[in-house]
Amino acid sequence: MKSVYLAGAINGCSDSEAIDWRTYCTTSLGIIGISTIDPMSRDYRGREDQCVNEIVELDKLDIDNCDAMIVSYQRPSVGTSMEILYAWERGKPVIVFTDTKSISPWLRYHSSHIVNSIDDALELAANILGNNPLTT
């Protein structure tokens, strides 16, 4: 089964900000047979300083094991930026959705696609991974 890593800000986010979009992606992609890898399954908020190595090493392992990445880029996040670079260096498609008008050249360079909505990101992921029932 193909899988998508769900990258986006966690540190300093409310439950809704960190979880809701990931749940939507998991449900939407699951319907068409694509699994998601959700770093929020290991919620380290409030314990980040005690779990530095574990957080980074497990996130890297998850990215190594995914087929593509969807990124929620609603605000700058150092961790998300590092995950994007790590995925890009491994040849993983990186699909960013954002409503931000000013996008860093670094983000543009390391993204396969930048779209304006979560639904556009989901459709792209399905197409890239060959699981879009609308196009097969």
C-alpha 10/C-alpha 13 separation (Å) is: 5
Asked whether residue 134 is domain-assigned, the answer is no
Instruction: Specify if 136 maps to a domain.
Output: no
Task: Dig out the tokens for 3 from the structure.
Answer: 């899988």
Note whether residue 67 is domain-resident.
yes
The segments of the chain whose pLDDT lies below 50 read 136
Q: Which domain holds residue 85?
A: 3-128
pTM for the whole thing?
0.93
CA distances to 39, 97, 134 from 6, in Å: 7, 11, 23
pLDDT in tens, 60-85: 999 999 999 999 998 889 999 999 99
Predicted local distance difference test score (pLDDT) of residue 122: 97
Task: Report the CATH number at residue 45.
Answer: 3.40.50.450
Question: Does residue 45 fall inside a structural domain?
Answer: yes
Residue 117 lies in a domain: yes
Number of domains in the chain: 1
Rg of the chain (C-alpha set)? 14
